[in-house]
Chain A
Amino acid sequence: MKKTILALAVMASLSGCASFGVEPWERAQLARADMALDSEKNDLALDDHIYFSKEGSSGGRAFAGGGCGCN
């Protein structure tokens, strides 16, 4: 039952997504390099490594992963 509700909720929200958005010719601002989600990928990777090493939680934006003996 819960799964059905969840599926319906997701479908409804995805349908709702269609009312958002822009036409291809309205993407000038969104296409800016600084609007890419990984526009500062080195900063993000270095920050992820620091916080992974110093805190009990990791991941979320990207994979939490392993790869370091620091935690």
Chain B
Amino acid sequence: MQLTKNRNIAGALAMASCSLVGQSAQAAAPAGLLDDWKVDAAILYYGEQSRVQAVEAIGNAQKAFGDTSVLDIKLVADSLTGASASGAVPQGESQTFTRPSGNGQYVVAAAETPLDDTFHDTRVQGSLNWTETLSPDWKANGGLYGSKEFDYMSMGLNGGIERSFNKDNTSLSLSGSYTYDQVDPVGGRPVAFSAMALRQDFDSDAAYRAAFDKTRIDSSDNKQTLDLMLGVTQVLNSRWLVQANYSLSSVSGYLTDPYKMLSQVDGTGTTQSYRYEHRPDSRLKQSFYLLAKGALDSGVVDFSYRFSSDDWDLQSHTLDSHYRYYFSGNVYGQLHLRYYQQQAANFYRPFLVVTEALPDYASADYRIGDMTGYTLGLKFGQRLAGGNEMSFRLEYYQQNPENNGTELLGQLNNYDLFPTVKAVVAQFGYSF
């Protein structure tokens, strides 16, 4: 192959032209693509103990046009309901909160973690992707993406190019994506750090409504995301390959969660007010991802590690592994293990203190706090006649949020401010 002679040139070319990464580079080209539709469909249930429940359906259809072109169509629909942590802290007495719409209230019992039970949404998502083999060495892909939910809309486009050399044993890829999101929260966007208006503090509905309206900005906002990914995939031997990706993601716009708040407490830990959170309007993230995958006589195994960091000082380490064992030629079992460890964003704090000046930014959202997470999953699959396959997956996911070093005041020491979140995932899949 010509590149055997010009290995360094190939390397330099790869560096200089940044030529290459596909969204998910294939190390082994799918030999002999069928001139037919191939469909993978799945339905998933996600349920947290006493919190969010979700059902998500996904369908992926792929069609090859000749030997050089592949079209991928993906449709997703999901429905969420249940309650999620609002960011407020538990108290010795019951707490009353105004709903995000301003219409009505909900009460959280003493000592309970405040959950916003108005969480309910339905989302649909569609995407198209086209992959074109330009020559034996070059491949390109491009795609469109769109999703819509009640208070959120997202549109995006992506493209990538991939170059293989060294007898197809090495491939380099470069890809990029741009996403435009529009956020239109129920009740409007909260004014940053404004104190929640509570009906019981006002004599009339009109006075309450006037106060509530002062905490809201009545217009939508947007968020833009630019992603770049550089990847290399290398075949090591007849059974093993490795993949490494470096990605950079720049997000700008409205990054605050409009439904999250912080309790502002006094020296005894007693809440004086609830203030809507406020996050920076930009975020620059980078991550490094390394995967090794091996073909065994009776199965397949993969290991991956990801390191992510960003200019919010949020860092994470993720270890993930799947091991599949074929009980027979047609039936397999698969084990999934995942470990996640996260260091809090620099503006994360579990509560605000009355005697301290308001910071520039603050969020009590545990999802950007210190945390570890574990996943243990089992999957069983069976290949059926005609190349069809069915599978069933059951996973357990646990998040253990942790204190980021904040000294707890007064009564806050009596409650669990960092409760564990436990979830199960059940999925049925069918391919034909």
B297 and chain A: residue at smallest CB distance:
A29
Q: Within 8 Å CB of B60, what residues of A?
A: 41-42, 45
A18 vs B238: C-alpha distance in the bound complex, in angstroms? 14
Interface residue count for B (Cβ, 8 Å)?
Answer: 102
**Contact residues in A for B15 (Cβ distance below 8 Å):** 7, 10-11
Chain A residue at minimal CB-CB distance from B308: A57
Residues of chain A within 8 A (CB-CB) of B371 are 55-56
CB-contact partner of A63 in B74, B180, B227, B393, under 8 A: B227
Interface residues of B (CB under 8 A from A): 3-4, 7-8, 10-12, 14-15, 23-28, 30-31, 40-42, 44, 46, 56, 58, 60, 74, 76, 78, 80, 121, 123, 125, 145, 147, 149, 151-152, 154, 156, 158, 166-170, 175, 177, 179-181, 183, 223-225, 227, 229, 232-239, 241, 243, 245, 247, 249, 251, 257, 285, 287-289, 291, 293, 295, 300, 304, 306, 308, 310, 314, 316, 318, 324, 340, 342, 345, 367-368, 371, 373, 379, 393, 397, 399, 421, 425, 427, 429
A25-60 interface with B by 8 A CB criterion: 26-38, 41-43, 45-46, 49-51, 54-60
Taking a contact as CB atoms closer than 8 A, the residue among A21, A35, A54, A55 that contacts B166 in the complex is A21
Query: In the complex the two chains form, is B28's CB within 8 Å of A68's CB?
Result: no
With contact pairs A11-B15, A31-B28, A55-B373 given, residues A65 and B177 touching in the complex (Cβ less than 8 Å): yes
Q: List 28 A-B contacts (CB under 8 A).
A: A12-B11, A18-B166, A21-B236, A22-B169, A23-B167, A30-B295, A34-B300, A34-B324, A37-B26, A37-B243, A41-B24, A42-B58, A43-B379, A46-B56, A54-B397, A57-B285, A57-B287, A57-B316, A57-B342, A60-B247, A60-B287, A60-B288, A61-B304, A61-B306, A65-B179, A66-B180, A68-B123, A69-B181
Which 8 A-B residue pairings sit nearest by Cβ, starting from the closest? A21-B169, A69-B152, A14-B11, A60-B289, A11-B11, A29-B295, A57-B308, A66-B179
Q: Evaluate contact between A22 and B238: CB separation under 8 angstroms.
A: yes
